[in-house]
Amino acid sequence: MKLGIPSRIFRVFIIASTTLYLAAPLYGMLDFSTKPLGGEGGRTLRAWKAIGSQEDLTSSITVSFAIAIIVMLLVFLLVVPTVIWVHLRLPKLRRPLELICLLPLAIPGIVIVVGIAPLYRWISINITESPVSLAGVYSMLILPYTYRSLSASLDLVDISTLAEAARTLGASTMRTIFGVVMPTIRSGIMSGVVISLALVLGEFTISSLLSYDTLQVVIYLLGREDGKIAVAVSLAALLFVFGILFAIPTTKRRGAILDADIA
């Protein structure tokens, strides 16, 4: 159905307003990071070129991406199969599971830190002092967002019929989850993965209070010495996450066939 002229104008207005709302802060960050020192004329990329020379920043980026990879694996291997299993076999537990997954939203970050501080003190003494151990608490923090993304995708697909067809063809439960259902909701899974990456790269409170040098903590410390470099790093991280977000396929390619390989 074709949209009328008023609807088209309204749609264009909403898109333009949203784009301006998102682009204005990014332009401000770019403008600040390229301003010359001392009020001299011309632009400079000094702050951007200095990113690679910051050893603490390089190590924090490596650590943050390591944490992000672990969190994404936990989402893919634990959270996604659990949500699918509950939707398929235990529909009465959907509400309790949703309540558990949404619980981190109701708990302030400082309260979470107070609760997990003794645990991480024990981990740092007996196991490891690496910030990679933060993957555990970060996996808990992303549950509200990943669950809603997965739940919305599952509600759009008749997974019961898919699962029944797969079982009729002799597929095991694991093959049904990983080979049939998960490819069908891949857009929701990818959204959860991007949310995981964005949270790991943007979280500051917990890592700071637990004295771990993650990306945001190092950016904060760097900002106290050179604000332009800190803003340049922040903008680069935002653009990286936006790039991944826009790279996610939102629709199936025409002519694509889901090959579940369940025969």
User: Could you give the number of structural domains in the chain?
Assistant: 1
Predicted pLDDT at 4: 65
Residue 107 belongs to a domain = yes
- The pLDDT value given to residue 200: 82
Distance of CA 148 to the CA centre of its chain: 13
- Say whether pLDDT at 262 is over 80: no
* pLDDT tier for residue 261 given thresholds of 50, 70 and 90: very low
Name the average pLDDT for the chain.
81
pLDDT band at 256 (very low <50, low <70, confident <90, very high): very low
Q: Which helix (H) or strand (E) holds 57?
A: helix 55-74
> Per the domain annotation, does 84 fall within a domain?
yes
Mean pLDDT confidence for 80-102:
87
Give domain status of residue 26, yes or no. no
Token output for 121: 């003190």
At 253 the pLDDT is 45
Q: What does the pLDDT average to over 137-141?
A: 88
Q: Where residue 2 falls among pLDDT bands split at 50, 70, 90?
A: low
Residue 131 — pLDDT band, cuts 50, 70, 90? confident
Residue range 125-138: mean pLDDT, rounded? 86
Please answer whether residues 133 and 123 qualify as being in contact, where contact means their C-beta atoms are separated by less than 8 angstroms. yes
Q: How many helices (H) and strands (E) does the chain have?
A: 15, 0
Average pLDDT over residues 91-95: 86
**Residues 203/141, Cβ–Cβ less than 8 Å:** yes
Residues contacting residue 43 through CB under 8 Å, at least 6 positions apart: 34, 35, 36
Is residue 109 one of the residues assigned to a domain?
yes
Per the domain annotation, does 255 fall within a domain?
Answer: no
211 φ, ψ (degrees, to nearest 5): 65, 45
Tell me the average pLDDT across 112-135.
86
Lookup: tokens for 72: 């994404």
pLDDT of residue 192: 78
Is 60 exceeded by the pLDDT of residue 250? no
Contacts of 190 (CB under 8 A, 6+ apart): 248, 249
Whether residue 259 is contained in a domain is answered as no
Residue 38, classified by CB atoms within 10 Å of its CB into exposed (0-12), middle (13-18) or buried (19+), is exposed
Which pLDDT score, from 0 to 100, does residue 259 have?
A: 44
- The answer to whether 188 and 153 are in contact (CB under 8 A) is yes
Contact 190, 184 (CB under 8 A): no
pLDDT > 50? residue 258: no
Mean pLDDT of 137-158: 86
Answer whether residue 215 is part of any domain.
Answer: yes
pLDDT above 90 covers a percentage of the chain that reads 0
Question: What was the pLDDT predicted at 69?
Answer: 87
Taking only the tens place, the pLDDT of each residue in 199-216 is 888 888 888 888 888 888
Model pLDDT, residue 80: 87
User: Using 50, 70 and 90 to split pLDDT, how confident is the model at 167?
Assistant: confident
Distance CA 215, CA 95 (A): 35
Give residue 182's domain range: 49-247
The structure tokens 């690679």 sit at 52
Which of 53, 56, 43 has its CA nearest to residue 217?
A: 56
> What CATH number does residue 64 fall under?
1.10.3720.10
In a domain, 227, yes or no: yes
What was the pLDDT predicted at 248? 60
Q: Measuring CA to CA, how many Å separate 59 from each of 6, 13, 64, 91?
A: 52, 43, 9, 44
Assign 98 a pLDDT band (cuts: 50, 70, 90). confident
pLDDT at 40: 57
Q: How confident is the model at residue 32 (pLDDT cuts 50, 70, 90)?
A: confident
